[in-house]
Structure 1
C-alpha cells in the first residue's frame, strides 16, 4: 500500500468510487487550490483503495486544528488497516503543519468508523449532537 497526497482533479476523478458521490471538476479544483485542504489517497497495486480528507481550521483563541472531514475505503479493501493508515497519515500531516489536534464527528451507530479511529489512537470518545443546516443544492 502507498499513501500520497492528491494533487490533480484527474486523481480525484479516478478515485471517485471512494466518495459519497461523483467528483465535480470545479469543486475538486477549488478543494485542491486551498492550502488548508488535504486529501490523501491510498493505493493498492496502483489502484485507489481509500481516501481521507482533512481541513485545517484556525480560531483566534485556539490556534489551528485538523478536522477529519471524510474517510472512505473501498469495500474490497476493508479490514486491512487502510483506514487506520490513512487516519494516521492525516494526523502526521496535521502535526507537521503545526495543528494542536485533530477531530472528527462520527454517528454513534457507525461502529466500523469508531473502531478505525480507536485503532488510530484517538484520545477520547464523547457523545456529540451534530446540528445541520441544509441550504439546498
Structure 2
C-alpha cells in the first residue's frame, strides 16, 4: 500500500470515486492550497483505494489539533486495512506538524467506522452530542 499526501488537483479527479460526490474544481484547489488542509490517498496496485482528509484547527488556549474530516474506502478494498492505515498516516502527519491530538465524529451505529478508528488507536468520547448547522449554498 502506498499512501500519498495529495497536492495536485489531477490526483483528486483521478480518485473522484472515493468521495461522496464529484469533487468541485474550485473547492479542490482551495483545499489543496491551504497548508493546514491535508488529503491522503491510499493506492493499491496503482489504483486509488481510499482517502482521508484532515484539517488543522487552532485555538488560543489549546494549540493545534487535527480534525479527521472524512475517510472513504472504495468497496473492493474494504476489510483490508486501508482505512486503518489512512487514519494512522493522518495521525502521524498530525504528530509531525505539532498537533496535540486528533479527533473525528461518526454515527454511533457506524460499526465499520468505529472499528476502524479503534483499530487505529482512537478512543470514543462518551456521551457526546454533535450539533450542526446547514446553510444554503446559494
TM-score category (smaller protein): over 0.9
Report the TM-score, using the length of structure 1 for normalisation: 0.97
Structure 1 contact 105–128 (Cα < 8 Å) conserved: no
- Residue aligned with 2:128, SS: coil
Match of 2:18 in 1: 18
Trace 1:49-68 onto structure 2 (pairs within 5 A).
49-68=49-68
Match of 1:84 in 2: 84
Shift of 1:129: 1.6
Match of 1:117 in 2: 117
Alpha-carbon separation, structure 2, partners of 1:29 and 1:130: 29
* Alignment gaps of 5+ in structure 1: none
| Runs ≥4 residues deviating over 3 A | none
Report the TM-score, using the length of structure 2 for normalisation: 0.96
Shift of 1:28: 0.2
Alpha-carbon separation, structure 1, partners of 2:68 and 2:125: 15
- Residue aligned with 1:38, SS: strand
Aligned-pair Cα RMSD in Å? 0.8
Shift of 1:7: 1.1
Structure 1 contact 18–73 (Cα < 8 Å) conserved: yes
Alignment partner of 1:46 is 2:62: no
Alpha-carbon separation, structure 1, partners of 2:127 and 2:20: 24
Q: How many residues of Structure 1 are paired with residues of Structure 2 in the alignment?
A: 137
